[in-house]
Amino acid sequence: MSIKVQQTSSKLVGPIYNGDEQPPPATNQFAPLSVFDWYILPDEHVPVIYAFKAPTPSNAFLEQGLGKVLSEYRVWAGRLGKDENNHIIILLNDKGVRFIEASADRTLEQVTPFSQPNLLTLHPDFDGMKEILIIQLTRFTCGSLVISFSSNHMVADGFSVSQFLVSWGRVCRGLDISPRPLHNREIFVPRNPCRIEFDHQSLEFTKGVINEEFIDPSNIPPYSEEDVIYHKLHFPIELIAKLKSKAGYSVSGKPYTTFESLVAHLWKTITKVRRLACQTTEIKIAVNGRRRLIPRVPDEYFGNLVLCAYPVAKVKELTNGTLSNTASIIHESVVSLNDDYFKSYIDFVSNDMQGENPMPERGERTLVALWPNLEFDSWLGFPFNEVDFGSGKPFLFMPSFDSLEGLVYLVPSIDGGVDVYLCLFKQQMAFFEEICYSID
């Protein structure tokens, strides 16, 4: 069932400072981007969808709480700009977050699970927007509320976004922000002398672009953008336990994680469904560096601190090999992004930032698919389900739809299992649904 969503209000919400205790800071300050922020394209935005059942707080109440929490997270209310060296910076000018109020003509129950067209009405299009953060509150006729949080990825990664949302909820409930965020983006200092030990130019700044002109014809997807559909899977705790048991143990003697076991299963399954003609396929996995750098960076660090691993496997290995072997390929690739790797990256980007243009220009993606590859974005371990604005936790949170075949999100489910949101071609969905839960 389709829904009609009508925007009733659109305004800018800036930080609210607490008088003498927290006087307004100067609005001519700026925050430089870190070497990990440079890894993100400036126009990359990520919408997150939250759904809360009635009764829910009023829009005015949520707006007031947002203004208060922005006094601690000023970067969201700023704008991207450039300094005298042509480096992108965050202007701390307090111009505000775009705050949109909207209403839907259906009950939430009538339109869940969300179809692709309905999902896209729940958050605005970022095109042409100058704001770093856009929030839309959509009220349904039953009193339920959907909050979309669409942020510029160059400012913060998913872990930081989840921490901010928890803080917004705490402020709305009259609680202190705890722990307080660490906003210093200049803590990543290059070594002296620099030791660039890996090919970061190729790994961090080239692999993200897929251009039809430079790839083998056998690797070009067989269908068009109109054929890409969004699909949700649910893996309950019991099925996850079976997958982990089947995956077994790594060479270190530790069992493979939920993430490694599930990604291995999905990689094998999707490879079978695609019936690839190429020899190899790879996956892209975002790796949080907070606990990999030595000394460890606190979880409350606000910004980006992610690099990507690229496990590669032969198609025949995936289709005919064991789950344990695939989990091993994933595990070895991810653990290779250790302290040495992250520090080599810091040295590489810090050295390159001495020039006028800190990073080479990256071209635009010309294909609508990651074929024959995949990208797994894991939100497992993020405290998204701790968001509470005063009327309870969300009954649903999820990424929005991005028409990029091969993109997969892993999201912790309310029941303790894992929800999987993925984009595949509709022509392959019947076979996928037939085998996706089979672990024999």
| Residue 419 annotated among the catalytic residues of the structure | no
Mapped to the 3 state alphabet, what secondary structure does the chain carry?
CCCCEEEEEEEEECCCCCCCCCCCCCCCEEEECCCCHHHCCCCCEEEEEEEECCCCCCHHHHHHHHHHHHCCCHHHHCEEEECCCCCEEEEECCCCEEEEEEEECCCHHHHCCCCHHHHHCCCCCCCCCCCCEEEEEEECCCCCEEEEEEEECCCCCHHHHHHHHHHHHHHHCCCCCCCCCECCCCCCCCCCCCCCCCCHHHHHHCCCCCCHHHCCHHHCCCCCHHHEEEEEEEECHHHHHHHHHHHCECCCCCECCHHHHHHHHHHHHHHHHHCCCCCEEEEEEEEECCCCCCCCCCCCECCCCEEEECCEEEHHHHHHCCHHHHHHHHHHHHHCCCHHHHHHHHHHHHHHCCCCCCCCCCCCCCCCECCCCEEEEECCCCHHHHCCCCCCCCCEEEECCCCCECEEEEEECCCCCEEEEEEEEHHHHHHHHHHCCCCC
Catalytic residue among 37, 157, 347, 388: 388
Catalytic residue among 153, 200, 265, 331: 153
| Residue 200 annotated among the catalytic residues of the structure | no
Active-site annotation, residues: 153, 388
